[in-house]
Amino acid sequence: MKREIKLTSDGSRTIYLPELDETYHSNHGAFNEAIHIFIEQGIRMFSPEQTVRIFEMGFGTGLNALLTLIESKTRDYTIEYTGIEAFPVEFGLVNELDYCTYLNWDSPEDFTQLHTLTWGEKHQITPAFSFQKIHQKIEDYQPELNHFELVYYDAFGPRVQGDLWQPMILEKMHALLKPGGVLVTYCAQGQVKRDLKDLGFEVVSLPGPPGKREMTKAIKI
Ligand SMILES: C[S@@+](CC[C@H](N)C(=O)[O-])C[C@H]1O[C@@H](n2cnc3c(N)ncnc32)[C@H](O)[C@@H]1O
């Protein structure tokens, strides 16, 4: 599928899929979206005293993983990060996103490592940040049960990938979280929130990132 680089409103870049008319991040700001949903309402809701095991649905450009690695380095979080991705983006293209320059992050090798490390193996990027990428469809993934504290649910939207927002997949997210674990997503669709509730989550609607009224946080009861 053809992929193009696109500039978003906060000056950060994303990838655009013309055939689906879908972007990897919000047009209102890739960085703004990632930082608001996955960092401020995600990892920063946890104490740096505990290890946080994160599962990301849709590793994509690696922006969420990079921001989380930066959080670990700058705020002393101990993180075990697992990202699943069915259709990896070639490194040449993600490199053009130039996220480290945008973020003024002076260790660009962090981003390179996230993309070039081998799939299917656990890598210790720093003593406090372990990282594993799984090259698989979420539909085929057999989750480790009650293992993760936090899920970044970052699939393409229900308009283009409705199947990934069905109860069968959301149930996997419920199963892999520990009780008290949290799922955060940009999606605020009513049916998705009702399904999450029926699966046993407490569902909270929060203000969304710039350009979006709401986001969703779901806590496994
Ligand atoms: C919205 S983008 C993810 C953005 C990503 N979190 C980032 O920071 O760039 C959705 C991602 O899910 C991946 N994806 C699509 N279908 C999938 C599936 N069935 N299983 C796993 N990943 C899938 C896409 O290839 C894409 O990278």
Ligand 1 site-directed mutation target among 12, 14, 22, 137, most atoms within 8 Å of CB: 137
145 in any annotated domain: yes
Ligand 1 site-directed mutation target among 1, 57, 95, 172, most atoms within 8 Å of CB: 57
b vs e for 147-186, b when ≥16 Cβ sit within 10 Å of the residue's Cβ? ebbbbbbbbbeeeeeeebbeeebbbbbbbbbeeebbbbbb
Q: Please give the pLDDT value at position 49.
A: 95
Residue 210 banded pLDDT, cuts 50, 70, 90: very high
Question: Does 66 contact ligand 1 (Cβ within 6 A)?
Answer: no
Give me the domain span that covers residue 206. Answer: 33-220
Question: Does 12 contact ligand 1 (Cβ within 6 A)?
Answer: no
Q: Look up tokens 């996103």; give the residue.
A: 97
Average model confidence (pLDDT) for the chain? 98
26 in any annotated domain: no
189 in any annotated domain: yes
Tens digit of pLDDT for each residue in 28-38?
999 999 999 99
Measured by CA distance, the residue closest to atom 27 of ligand 1 is 60
How large is the average pLDDT for residues 47-57? Answer: 97
Question: Terminal CA-to-CA distance of the chain, rounded, Å?
Answer: 39
22 in any annotated domain: no
Which residues are CB-contacts of 68 (< 8 A; sequence separation ≥ 6)?
38, 39, 43, 54, 77, 79, 81
Q: Look up tokens 């940009």; give the residue.
A: 186
13 in any annotated domain: no
Question: Does 204 contact ligand 1 (Cβ within 6 A)?
Answer: no
119 in any annotated domain: yes
24 in any annotated domain: no
Residue 207 banded pLDDT, cuts 50, 70, 90: very high
How large is the average pLDDT for residues 205-221? Answer: 97
> How many folded domains does the chain comprise?
1
Q: What is the 74 CA–ligand 1 centroid distance (Å)?
A: 27
Single pTM value for the model: 0.98
Tens digit of pLDDT for each residue in 9-27?
999 999 999 999 999 999 9
Tens digit of pLDDT for each residue in 128-169?
999 999 999 999 999 999 999 999 999 999 999 999 999 999
38 in any annotated domain: yes
CATH code for position 131: 3.40.50.150
Ligand 1 site-directed mutation target among 24, 66, 161, 173, most atoms within 8 Å of CB: 24
